[in-house]
A = this chain, B = another copy of it.
Amino acid sequence: MVLEFGWGPFFARRLSQAGAYSQSMNSGGHELPLFPKPGNRMKRARARHKPCALKELEVSVSELGLGYESDEIVLFRYCSGTCETAVRNYDLSLKNMRLKKKIKKEKVRARPCCRPLAYDDDVSFLDTYNRYYTVNELSAKECGCV
């Protein structure tokens, strides 16, 4: 993977030069198997039940929506999927405490979250005015059901 090559900040522009990168985009393993084409409803149901995993997307820095104007391309990796199999005794008990009003008016989360466990190296780029920026904790490196 391109993102693992560099020491220090990773330069966004390197992505468009990297041949190895396109291979990883095509071997994601998230495609549906080669069965007879399912209907939309079935497709949606499958999408909802995919387990938490790392996915990736090639986007321009401008498209990230962080307020920078730059056509440089970055590999944005994110966590997607459900954590149904990762429910713990903690979650079941917490849910019960809520139902029994032992915990009231409090913001608690009684289901595991599919979230990054680690982030990729900082991403550096030049904007359209040739100004240099470095952005941290932009792209996920590892996902898990926390």
Q: Which residues of A line the B interface, CB within 8 A?
A: 43-44, 47-48, 50, 55, 57, 59, 63-66, 76, 78-82, 88-90, 92-97, 99-100, 102-103, 105-109, 112-117, 119, 135-140, 146
Contacts and interface: CB of A to CB of B under 8 A. Distances in A.
A-B pairs, top 5 by smallest CB distance, nearest first, are A65-B96, A113-B113, A88-B137, A146-B146, A64-B93
Contact of A90 (B78, B92, B114): B78
Contacts of A50: 106-107
Nearest to A65: B96
A7 to B, nearest CB: 21
Given A116-B90, A138-B90, A57 B105 contact: no
A105 B47 contact: yes
Choose among A93, A112, A138 the residue with the greatest number of B CB atoms under 10 Å from its CB.
Answer: A93
Given A114-B107, A114-B109, A135-B89, A102 B48 contact: no
Contacts of A97: 57, 59, 63, 76, 78
A78 B116 contact: no
A89 B137 contact: yes
